[in-house]
Amino acid sequence: MDKLVVEGGKTLSGSLRISGSKNACLPILAASLLSEGSSCIRNVPELKDVSTMASIFSSLGRKVDLSGDVFTVGEGELTNMMASYELVSTMRASVVVLGPILAKYGEAKVSFPGGCVIGARPIDLHLKGLRALGADIKIEGGYIVAKAKKLKGTKIYLGGHFGSSVLATANTLMTAVLADGETVIEDAACEPEVEDLCGFLMAMGADIKGAGTPTVRVRGVKELRGADYSVIPDRIEAGTYMIAAMITGGKLFLENARVEHNLALIDKLKEAGGTVDEKENGVEVYRKGAIHAVDITTLTYPGFSTDLQAQMMSLSTICDGISVITEKIFPDRFIHISELNRMGAEIILEGSTAIIKGVKKLSGAPVMASDLRASAALVLAGLVADGRTEISRIYHLDRGYEHLEDKLSAVGAKVWRVKE
Ligand code: EPU
């Protein structure tokens, strides 16, 4: 397993380019299965999760070509309607092929994704959406077996215990686009990734109103065509590098980053003492003085994203004062705390609230990545720690950050990969 080594203490400065969004492109790739026509999806990041999706397509009998940032889905029908445990267990998001396969072929068998290190991650809302549209769903041998002779539009309230669900909204939308009549999804997820999926579906010929709002209306169409589409920039990658500029006291220009996708983070970075300037085609972030403590509660969009909670916690470890971070989306998403404390942070956890007392310095240490965003948080901490931080299990990072060490090195960080 590869390791990442970070020598702390370098101030980052320069420009780096934000890649296409992982969480937008995965459902968009799945949506291409709604048509037997060829689709061309652009600005796709080079990530492990994308190559896992390509393997799922191959296992379903659909030809794909991945070259540079262009993912081309070849013409043709699926020859297999089953996504196996071996593939789905490596990437939870692959459950998003369920809706499109069911909608197009009337049956689908997809491995139950199970929980993961950030929490239980149920899929009851996905199943609720599909059942409301007329699917018959059973869980057999660890698989979701869905069948539908006819899918029919209806009204669906899709809010759950923790608010709206991004991928349940995506699955329901992708099933509704080929259903008979009108579907109204209430408490739909408003994340830009869902709006981008709607953009792709509309380019395929779907009739959707209210994309990016809590009420989405879909009028089913008979068939969809392949489309050529470019994915939005990754707001979580952009947010991570905004925090990298802040934590090192440097100045970064993030090409392609969009202010409107990161309003909650930017608000907190300004409160913490940062400057964030919107420029043509990007965002510039820097800090001159100390980092002030800020309190954060993660929420659904446009609230503060859970996918930036761990990175913001790294920033809070070296602020003036005490910060309080409450996690409302994945209440157990705190495995990074013990690793940050190994680096000299002072964090205690009370239920789903972390209390962080700022320290003067972190010190480099061997630490272990536990999930994608926690890994990024450890890299950020390593950038300001005294000495060397060695992060193991960085396959988590490779699932979601394109060429992280190259991008950081190009703006002055001392970070490299050790192959093992
Ligand atoms: N939930 C349910 N039932 C469901 C689905 C979700 O109770 O059927 C709960 C979850 O347990 C959680 C809340 O609803 O408490 C929100 O989860 P959501 O369904 O929105 O998460 P997701 O769609 O499975 C996507 C991202 C995650 C991101 C969350 C929240 C993708 C591929 N994944 O997951 O991204 O944290 O939305 O914004 O889009 C990451 O990139 O590191 C990552 C984990």
Q: Decide whether any atom of ligand 1 lies within 6 Å of the 172 Cβ.
A: no
Q: Decide whether any atom of ligand 1 lies within 6 Å of the 122 Cβ.
A: yes
Q: For residue 167, how far is its CA from the centre of ligand 1 (angstroms)?
A: 7
**69 contacts 44 by C-beta, under 8 angstroms:** yes
Q: Which is the closest atom of ligand 1 to the Cα of 330? A: 15
Going by CA atoms, what residue is nearest to atom 39 of ligand 1?
23
Both tokens of 238, joined, read 């952009």
Q: For residue 165, how far is its CA from the centre of ligand 1 (angstroms)?
A: 6
Q: Decide whether any atom of ligand 1 lies within 6 Å of the 188 Cβ.
A: no
Both tokens of 42, joined, read 């652009």
**256 contacts 282 by C-beta, under 8 angstroms:** yes
Q: What is the CA radius of gyration of the chain?
A: 21
Going by CA atoms, what residue is nearest to atom 33 of ligand 1?
23
Q: What is the signed CA dihedral for 23, 25, 28, 33, rounded to 10 degrees? A: -110
Q: Decide whether any atom of ligand 1 lies within 6 Å of the 303 Cβ.
A: no
Q: Decide whether any atom of ligand 1 lies within 6 Å of the 178 Cβ.
A: no
Q: Is 44 helix (H, G, I), strand (E, B) or coil?
A: coil
pLDDT at 262: 98
List strands edge to edge, sheet with 182-186: 155-157, 182-186, 215-219, 207-209
Q: Decide whether any atom of ligand 1 lies within 6 Å of the 127 Cβ.
A: no
Residues in the chain: 420
User: Which run of H or of E encompasses 348?
Assistant: strand 346-350
Site to substitute for ligand 1 among 19, 23, 373, most atoms within 8 A of C-beta: 23
Going by CA atoms, what residue is nearest to atom 11 of ligand 1?
121
DSSP state for residue 93 in the 8-state scheme: G
Q: Decide whether any atom of ligand 1 lies within 6 Å of the 30 Cβ.
A: no
Going by CA atoms, what residue is nearest to atom 43 of ligand 1?
307
- Cα angle: 381, vertex 387, 391; to 5 degrees: 50
Q: Which residue in 331, 326, 320, 321 sits closest to 354, CA to CA?
A: 326
Active site (catalytic) residues: 116
Residue by residue, pLDDT tens for the chain (420 residues) are: 899 999 999 999 999 999 999 999 999 999 999 999 999 999 999 999 999 999 999 999 999 999 999 999 999 999 999 999 999 988 889 999 999 999 999 999 999 886 678 888 899 999 999 999 999 999 999 999 999 999 999 999 999 999 999 999 999 999 999 999 999 999 999 999 999 999 999 999 999 999 999 999 999 999 999 999 999 999 999 999 999 999 999 999 999 999 999 999 999 999 999 999 999 999 999 998 999 999 999 999 999 999 999 999 999 999 999 999 999 999 999 999 999 999 999 999 999 999 999 999 999 999 999 999 999 999 999 999 999 999 999 988 999 999 999 999 999 999 999 987
**115 contacts 121 by C-beta, under 8 angstroms:** yes
Label residues 76-95 b or e (16+ Cβ within 10 Å = b): eebeebbbbbebbeebbbbb
Q: Is 133 helix (H, G, I), strand (E, B) or coil?
A: coil
pLDDT at 115: 64
Per-residue H/E/C for 230-275 = ECCECHHHHHHHHHHHHHHCCEEEEECCCHHHCHHHHHHHHHCCEE
pLDDT at 420: 78
Q: Which is the closest atom of ligand 1 to the Cα of 24? A: 39
pLDDT at 90: 87
- Locus of tokens 């480099």: 364
Q: For residue 324, how far is its CA from the centre of ligand 1 (angstroms)?
A: 22
Chain mean position to CA 368: 21
Going by CA atoms, what residue is nearest to atom 44 of ligand 1?
307
**82 contacts 54 by C-beta, under 8 angstroms:** no
CA distance 98 to 107: 9
Q: Decide whether any atom of ligand 1 lies within 6 Å of the 397 Cβ.
A: no
pLDDT at 21: 98
Q: For residue 417, how far is its CA from the centre of ligand 1 (angstroms)?
A: 29
